[in-house]
Copies of this chain bind each other. A is one copy, B any other.
Amino acid sequence: MRLTTKGRYAVTAMLDLAFHSERTPVTLMDIATRQTISLSYLEQLFSRLRRAEMVVVVRGPGGGYQLSRPVAEINISDIIKAVDEQIDSTQCGGETNCQNQKACLTHDLWMGLSNQIHHYLASISLADLLERKPIQEVASRQEQDVEHLIELRREVIVRL
């Protein structure tokens, strides 16, 4: 279980989905605009999220992504694991042969530690995050800030 900015991007994007995809799918372009993440980077992340069956896809016009299950059933740990390529942190993948064919100190230590963190993050769902006041406020502001940009983009595209 690693904790890097990559995982944070994924959690942010999933939270954005949770806010906006209840009725209609959300395009990566919309998420990119609201969360200021590059579209192509989002594509990479969602490719993994899709393979991990965290999101479902609707292709074609009006399409986009939606969460594959209710927000209460998606936890932070799963999101991070989906994008963070699990090059397991002990170099032996639970094989317990990190050091001269035997377990290293780190093995038991870090396994235990990262298990605990994993369980902790697994206990937090998207639903939990959605309930938080400050997050709701930020999300509303983001919608207003960026709504006109998204509209503008659509109009401009239509005119061309």
Binding site for B on A (CB under 8 A): 1-5, 8-9, 11-12, 15-16, 35-36, 76, 89, 99-100, 102-110, 112-114, 116-117, 120-121, 124, 129, 132, 134-135, 138-139, 141-142, 145
A105-B142 contact, Cβ under 8 Å, with A114-B3, A117-B3: yes
Q: Does B4 contact A110, Cβ atoms closer than 8 Å? A: no
Q: Does B8 contact A106, Cβ atoms closer than 8 Å? A: yes
Q: Does A12 contact B109, Cβ atoms closer than 8 Å? A: yes
Chain B residues whose CB sits within 8 angstroms of the CB of A105 once the complex forms: 12, 15-16, 35, 135, 138-139, 142
Q: Closest 5 A-B residue pairs measured CB to CB?
A: A3-B3, A108-B134, A12-B106, A8-B110, A105-B138
With A and B bound together, what is the CA distance between A92 and B120 in angstroms? 25
With A and B bound together, what is the CA distance between A106 and B31 in angstroms? 13
Chain B residues whose CB sits within 8 angstroms of the CB of A12 once the complex forms: 104-106, 109-110
Chain B residues whose CB sits within 8 angstroms of the CB of A2 once the complex forms: 3-4
With A and B bound together, what is the CA distance between A112 and B129 in angstroms? 10
Chain B residues whose CB sits within 8 angstroms of the CB of A139 once the complex forms: 105
A109-B89 contact, Cβ under 8 Å, with A3-B117, A4-B2, A145-B100: no
Offer 24 A-B interface pairs, CB within 8 angstroms, sorted by A.
A1-B3, A2-B3, A2-B4, A3-B117, A8-B110, A11-B109, A11-B110, A11-B113, A12-B104, A15-B105, A16-B105, A35-B99, A35-B106, A36-B104, A102-B141, A103-B138, A105-B142, A108-B132, A108-B134, A108-B138, A109-B135, A112-B132, A117-B117, A117-B120
